[in-house]
Every structure is written in C-alpha cells, then in structure tokens.
Amino acid sequence: MTSSAAPRRRLLPALLAAAALAAAAVLTTAAPASAHDELVSSDPAAGATLEAVPAEITLTYSAEILAEDGATQVQVTDETGASLAETAPVVSGTEVTQTLSPAASGVVSVVWRVVSSDGHPISGDFTFTVPAAAAAAPTPTETASSAPSASPSATTSETAAPATTPDATDPATAEASDASPLPWILLVVALLIVAGAIAYLFVARGRRGAGDGGSTGTPGR
C-alpha cells in the first residue's frame, strides 16, 4: 500500500504542471484570434486643415481587409451633406483608397466600414477641414471712381457755412447787439433810488415839523 501511493503522489504535481502549460498555450493562441483589426492611420489625418480637397483618401489598417464586393464602404460628404466620393473604394492589402471630387469647402466628414481579416465588420469616422476661398478685394479702379463722390458734399457744407455766420457790419446785427437790457435796468434802479431819497426827505421833514409844533404849544413853567 505504501509503495503504490508514493508514485501517485509524485505523479500528481507533474499532471498539474502539464495542465497549466496546456491552458496557457490555449489562451495564448486564442488571444490574437479574438482581436479585431483597427484603423492605424488616414491620409488626410483626422482633424487636419487642408488648402483644398485632396484627390483621394487613404485608410490604413492593422491587417489586410477583406476585398469582397460591398464589404468596404467609404462615405465622404461636405457641410451640405453632398457626397464627394466619385467611385467605389479600392482595397489593396491593408489600405483602402477612395477617390474624391475636389469641389468642396468647410468641414468634410468621412464615415468608413470594412470587414477585418477575422471576418468581423468594423467602422469609424473622422473629419478634416478645407477653408473657403477668401473674397476678392476691390480693384483700384473701383476705389478711385468712388472717391470723388465725397467731394460735392464737402463743397456744399463749405458754401453753406457762411450763410449761418452773422455779418458784423450788418446794421440789423449792430442794432440787435446794441439793444442790451442793461441800460434800462440801471435806469430803473436809479429812479428807485431817487424816489426813495425823495420819500425819505418828505418823511424827515414831517417829523421835524411835528416836533417843532409840539415844543411851541407847550407853555413854560
């Protein structure tokens, strides 16, 4: 009994180690198979600002893309929603190329959908910007022709200005300037002073006459 149990105890750790190695090998092999392909880069890049719409867009993936009919789709639209894709996308190994129409400006949207090497469809989107062309500056001829239009108004204002300025030599103006109310005010004040002085003299004389009369009518003792 003892001699047969010892080999079994020695065999058990070996079996456990073999099982662990087998499980690790299975997990290591299954991990790459479960990972899907992904977009590695694009030309133009996401968020780029370009001077004009490029002739084509190139999408590069981490593995070869399935080139079945209808499996690869690339939609490119401008700000109005108009499509810029002229032809169907072309798949070549890990790259997908889409030809574009150059007549567009603003934000350009790219939406793609492909089937990865493991048969699983993947998709994504990004944008890039094409600024609108600057408006043309006015020609010097137009600027020169529009400049003289301001001269007549300046001449009119200059000729109209003297009409509002009073003439110092005009008799009517001189009379208006001489007709100041100050002399009349001074005259009224002087009359009031004279009238007050006369009234004061009359009152003073009346008081004196009353005093003299009183002193004369009283007999002396």
So what's the pLDDT on residue 154?
A: 45
Q: Which residues contact 108 (CB under 8 A, 6 or more apart)?
A: 53, 76, 77, 78, 84, 127, 128, 129, 130
Per-residue pLDDT of the chain (221 residues; tens, 9 = 90+): 455 555 555 655 665 666 666 555 544 544 444 467 899 999 999 999 999 999 999 999 999 999 888 899 999 999 999 999 989 999 999 999 999 988 888 999 999 999 988 889 999 999 999 998 655 455 555 554 455 555 444 444 444 444 455 454 454 444 444 556 777 788 888 888 888 888 888 887 777 766 665 555 444 43
SS3 173: helix
So what's the pLDDT on residue 156?
A: 44
Peptide bond into 13 cis (omega under 30): no
C-beta atoms surrounding 113 within 10 Å: 14
So what's the pLDDT on residue 99?
A: 95
Put simply, whether the predicted model's pTM sits higher than 0.75 gets the answer no
